[in-house]
Amino acid sequence: MKNIDSTTHVKGESIYLDDIPLINGTLFGAAFGSPIAHGVIRNLHLDEALQESGVIKILTYKDITGINQIGGIIPDEPLLAEHHVHFCGMPAAFVVAETDDAARAAVKKIKVDIDPLPVITDPREAKEKNELIIPPRTFVLGDVDAAWSGCTHIFEGIAETNGQEHLYIETQGAYAIPQENGAIKIYSSTQSPRATQQASCKVTGLLMHQIEVEVTRLGGAFGGKEDQANAWAAMCALASHLLKRPVKYSLHRMEDMAMTGKRHPYSSDFKIGLDKDLKIVAYEATFYQNAGAAADLSPAVLERTLFHCTNSYFIPNVKAKAYSCRTHLPPNTAFRGFGGPQGMFVIEAAIAKAAEYLGVDASVIQKKNLNQTGDEFPYGQVAVSEAKACWEKAETIYDVNALRKEIKSFNDQSKLYKKGLAFMPVCFGISFTNTMMNQARALVHVYTDGSVSVTTGAIEMGQGVNTKILQVASQVFSISPERIRIQSTSTHKIANTSPSAASATADLNGKATLMACAAIRGRLLAVAAEALNVETSSLELKNEKLCVNGNECDWDWQRLVMAAFLKRVSLSEHAHYATPEIHFDKLKEKGHPFAYHVYGTAIIIVTVDCLRGTYEFDAVKLVHDFGYSMNTAIDRGQIEGGIVQGIGWMTMEEIVYDKEGRLRSNSLSTYKVPDIYSVPRIIDIDPLQTHKDNLAIFRSKAVGEPPLMYGIGAYFALRNAIKAFNPSAQISFSAPMTPEKVLVSLYQKQESSTHEQTIKHMAIPS
Ligand code: MOS
Residues constituting the chain: 766
Q: Which residues contact 471 (CB under 8 A, 6 or more apart)?
A: 1, 481, 630, 631, 698
SS3 509: helix
CA distance 421 to 601: 13
pLDDT of amino acid 755: 39
Q: Is a pLDDT exceeding 50 seen at residue 758?
A: no
Q: Is 170 annotated in the active site? A: no
Residue 219's Cβ-count burial label (10 Å; 0-12, 13-18, 19+) is: middle
CA distance 139 to 380: 10
Nearest in space to 581 (alpha carbons), one of 438, 690, 450, 443: 438
Which residue(s) pair with 677 in the sheet? none
Q: Is a pLDDT exceeding 80 seen at residue 92?
A: yes
Q: What is the pLDDT of residues 701-745, one digit of tens each?
A: 999 999 999 999 999 999 999 999 999 999 999 999 999 999 999
Can you tell me the mean pLDDT for 188-204? 98
**Top mutation candidate among 262, 297, 338, 428 for ligand 1, by most atoms within 8 Å of CB:** 338
Asked whether 536 and 527 are in contact (CB, 8 A), the reply is no
Can you tell me the mean pLDDT for 152-163? 98
Q: What is the pLDDT of residues 278-309, one digit of tens each?
A: 999 999 999 999 999 999 999 999 999 999 99
Give the gyration radius of the chain's Cα atoms: 27
Q: What is the pLDDT of residues 320-350, one digit of tens each?
A: 999 999 999 999 999 999 999 999 999 999 9
Q: Which residues contact 601 (CB under 8 A, 6 or more apart)?
A: 387, 390, 391, 393, 394, 423, 424, 425, 426, 622, 623
pLDDT of amino acid 765: 42
CA distance 538 to 653: 59
**Top mutation candidate among 192, 305, 336, 433 for ligand 1, by most atoms within 8 Å of CB:** 336
Q: Which residues contact 10 (CB under 8 A, 6 or more apart)?
A: none
Distance (Å) from CA 296 to ligand 1 centroid: 13
Distance (Å) from CA 191 to ligand 1 centroid: 9
Nearest in space to 330 (alpha carbons), one of 263, 266, 267, 230: 263
Q: Is a pLDDT exceeding 80 seen at residue 54?
A: yes
Ligand 1 atom index nearest CA of 502 = 3
Ligand 1 atom index nearest CA of 335 = 2
Which residue pairs, CB below 8 angstroms and at least 24 apart, start in 558-567?
A: 558/449, 558/450, 560/524, 560/527, 560/528, 561/446, 561/447, 561/448, 561/450, 561/524, 562/448, 563/527, 563/528, 563/531, 564/523, 564/524, 564/527, 565/448, 567/527
Distance (Å) from CA 499 to ligand 1 centroid: 8
Asked whether 197 and 212 are in contact (CB, 8 A), the reply is yes
CA distance 440 to 445: 17
- Name the average pLDDT for the chain: 97
Beta strand extents in 275-328 (DSSP E only): 280-292, 317-326
pLDDT of amino acid 753: 44
Percent of the chain with pLDDT over 70: 98
Can you tell me the mean pLDDT for 67-95? 98
Residues 392, 705, 751, 756: which is the catalytic one? Answer: 705
What pTM was computed for the model? 0.97
Asked whether 629 and 639 are in contact (CB, 8 A), the reply is no
Asked whether 36 and 85 are in contact (CB, 8 A), the reply is yes
- At 691, is the pLDDT very low, low, confident or very high (cuts 50, 70, 90)? confident
CB-facing half-sphere around the CA of 32: CA atoms within 13 A: 23
Q: Which residues contact 599 (CB under 8 A, 6 or more apart)?
A: 312, 385, 386, 387, 389, 390, 425, 426, 427, 625, 688
Q: How far from chain centre, in Å, is Cα 682? A: 25
pLDDT of amino acid 745: 98
Ligand 1 atom index nearest CA of 334 = 2
Q: What is the pLDDT of residues 471-486, one digit of tens each?
A: 999 999 999 999 999 9
Can you tell me the mean pLDDT for 546-574? 97
Q: Ligand 1: residues whose CB is within 6 Å?
A: 191, 223, 226, 334-336, 338, 501-502
pLDDT of amino acid 751: 57
Can you tell me the mean pLDDT for 632-652? 98
Ligand 1 atom index nearest CA of 338 = 2
Which residue pairs, CB below 8 angstroms and at least 24 apart, start in 124-129?
A: 124/267, 124/288, 124/325, 125/327, 126/288, 126/290, 126/325, 126/326, 126/327, 127/288, 127/323, 127/325
Q: What is the pLDDT of residues 242-254, one digit of tens each?
A: 999 999 999 999 9
Structural element, H or E, at residue 439: strand 439-446
Q: Within a 10 A sphere around the Cβ of 497, how many other Cβ atoms?
A: 27
